[in-house]
Structure 1
Amino acid sequence: MTMDALARLEAAVDAFRARDFARAVEGLRQAAAEVPAEAMPWELLANAEAATGNDQAAMAALDRRLALDPRNIAALLLKGQLLEREGDRRAADANYQAAINQEAAGGACPPQMRGALGHARAFIAESRNRYAEYLRDTIGEPPTARVAMALDLLAGNREVFLQQPSVFYFPELPQRQFFEPEEFAWLEPMLAALPAMQAELEAVEAEKGGFAPYVVAQPNRPLPNNRLLDDPAWSAFWFWRQGAMVDENAARCPATMAALEHAPMPRIEGRSPVAHWSRLQPGAHIAPHHGMLNTRLICHIPIRTAPACVLRVGNEVREWRDGVPLIFDDSIEHEARNGGDGVRTVLLFEIWRPEIAEDERAALTQLFATIAAYDG
């Protein structure tokens, strides 16, 4: 770059700062013919062109920058603004989203473009709402919850969550967050025993013994990275733990133990069954996490419900309601929160995934028992 070219470029920049956009455009256009493309402030030329009403030339300048640097946040945001002004909302959305993605990936957004980045986020949110309304108005009421979720995913109003077990993944199982109670005939006799189970809970609580914090330290293991460690806000009364019956608790609650016999719980030495009352105090929050396996489902039989107490599995949130079990895949990210003033208690146990065949269950039982017995 010659000294004369550098001087003309600096004079054009000064003109832009003085808001003399016509002179800035003239000087920047001349500079564009003289300086190397990678040294040219294309975003500045685009701004000057747009300020004088020449959006086509502004777009051409931004395309020069993006040809050199396809993920330039400032250029993507400016191009989105021009396309929005032209009324091409879908193209504006695409450029805004690319800028947001780049910023999220660690790209540096110029400080002067922070406001534009905020506008881009608001624009995308509004676009998603418009799109969702268009789909609803055109298609009508979805016939099933699955179709409704598909439409929400298409409109960007829900996120996709998949199985991510922390220890063992069994392939080719359906990616379902919740299962419905009517899919499991064995739940009917369990629910018939609900009054007796509720009476047993009341008796145990009256004796003030048996519940202990769910998250506890294990001998010779690192402390769990869980803020509910040793916290009775989330506590358990165990019936089966790591495949062993807790005899004292089982003797106190014969109706609950009889009800559990109806469920297809895995029987794996050193590991399963697993069953307990899970109690969540007001204000308690079980942070998002994934279960160890995707070969099981977790079942909750509500023994005592509480208002404002919710379970989120993936992108779906449900409340515990009287007489309505919740069955879900805990290998999908999930969390629970008691936002009310009552104590929530459920009977929690695991069952085999219904899609796993008997011969596969036998093989997995042997595998998991072998793993449990391995001492390193």
Structure 2
Amino acid sequence: MKTEAADSKTRKRSPLHQLVHVSGKNLLRSLWAFQGKHSKIPVSPFLFAEDFPQLATLEANWREIRRELDEVLKRPDDIPAFHDLSPDQSRISKGRQWTTFAFLMLGERIDYNRERCPHTAAVLDALPGLQNAWFSILAPGTKIPPHRGPTRALVRCHLALEVPKDRERCWIRVDDQRYSWTEGKAVLFDDTYEHEVHNDTPDRRVVLFLDFDRPMDAVGTAANQALLGLIKLSPYFKAPIKNIALWKKPIGERVDLDNLVG
């Protein structure tokens, strides 16, 4: 098991990395108005299911996905914390409170995890416009502080797989609207609005976390494709892809944590 001292090493970023990260985030946010202008769907905190027919496929398969999740959860040491994969998330991800089991990162398949969940992988392959997908696991008592996503090129979706019994005390706030998950149901939202998550219960909360391409007009689609291509060339994307290789190995064979961040 990793110590807190070792864990802190995964979060170190060089001054150059920090400058690139901040500059890139500011650039992405400067495009929000442009992306909103060319969006075919509302720019609102929560979005409408009818704009994403893919959700019917997700909800129809949630029980099979949940069964594969249950198998994954039997091996918790194989599930990294969010900041173990993406050190840029260290402000909102601490310790082992928020862990993630990734299937897809900006279109890049994580075959090792897909092989462990073949039904889930098949469902994901049937979803058009999917860019990111992973199990997002919140421990009891976890609070994710307010934050904003970097781009309106994508739309966030949560398919609820495991919800605390006292569901009203487990919620996400997006802008000024609050939502509590229901098992088997999907919800869509725009993560460029400030949002936070509270799990004020003694139970775990798990969702299948997905990002879909935002429906855009021709100009917006071309711009978003170019933008996502640039993101894939950046440390924001390359570091998680590199770091996930650690979690393919047995614990005793994992690489030196000092070498995690590229």
Q: Taking structure 1 as reference, are residues 364 and 301 closer, same or farther at Cα in structure 2, changes over 3 Å only?
A: same
Counterpart in the other structure of 2:126: 262
Listed as ranges, the gaps of 5+ residues in structure 2 are 1-26, 236-262
Tell me the CA shift for residue 374 of structure 1: 6.4
Q: Aligned partners of 2:122, 2:177: CA distance in 1, in Å? A: 32
User: Paired residue for 1:322, among 183, 187, 195?
Assistant: 183
Structure with the largest fraction of strand: 2
Counterpart in the other structure of 1:335: 196
Q: Aligned partners of 1:205, 1:349: CA distance in 2, in Å? A: 19
TM-score relative to the length of structure 1: 0.49
Query: Is the contact between residue 166 and residue 293 of structure 1 (CA under 8 Å) also seen in structure 2?
Result: yes
The aligned length equals 201
User: Paired residue for 2:75, among 199, 203, 207?
Assistant: 207
List aligned pairs for 1:1-376, cutoff 5 A: 166=29, 168-169=31-32, 170-172=35-37, 173=39, 174-216=42-84, 226=91, 228-229=93-94, 231-266=95-130, 273-306=131-164, 307=167, 308-354=169-215, 356-358=216-218, 360-373=220-233
- In the alignment, residue 114 of structure 2 is paired with which amino acid? A
Identical amino acids, percent of aligned pairs? 27
Listed as ranges, the gaps of 5+ residues in structure 1 are 1-163, 267-272
Bigger relative contact order (CA 8 A; separation at least 6): 2
Q: Aligned partners of 2:76, 2:159: CA distance in 1, in Å? A: 22
Local SS of the residue matching 1:235: strand
Q: Taking structure 1 as reference, are residues 374 and 283 closer, same or farther at Cα in structure 2, changes over 3 Å only?
A: closer
Q: Taking structure 1 as reference, are residues 217 and 343 closer, same or farther at Cα in structure 2, changes over 3 Å only?
A: closer
Per-residue Cα deviation, 1:116-160 (whole angstroms, up to 9, x for no partner) = xxxxxxxxxxxxxxxxxxxxxxxxxxxxxxxxxxxxxxxxxxxxx
Query: Is the contact between residue 196 and residue 255 of structure 1 (CA under 8 Å) also seen in structure 2?
Result: yes
Query: Is the contact between residue 180 and residue 327 of structure 1 (CA under 8 Å) also seen in structure 2?
Result: yes
Q: Taking structure 1 as reference, are residues 368 and 184 closer, same or farther at Cα in structure 2, changes over 3 Å only?
A: closer
Q: Aligned partners of 1:200, 1:260: CA distance in 2, in Å? A: 13
- In the alignment, residue 146 of structure 2 is paired with which amino acid? P
Structure 1 vs Structure 2 CA RMSD: 2.5
TM-score relative to the length of structure 2: 0.69
Structure with the largest fraction of helix: 1
Local SS of the residue matching 2:127: coil
Query: Is the contact between residue 101 and residue 136 of structure 2 (CA under 8 Å) also seen in structure 1?
Result: yes
Local SS of the residue matching 2:100: strand
- In the alignment, residue 119 of structure 2 is paired with which amino acid? A
Per-residue Cα deviation, 1:231-271 (whole angstroms, up to 9, x for no partner) = 211110010124321111000111111221233335xxxxx
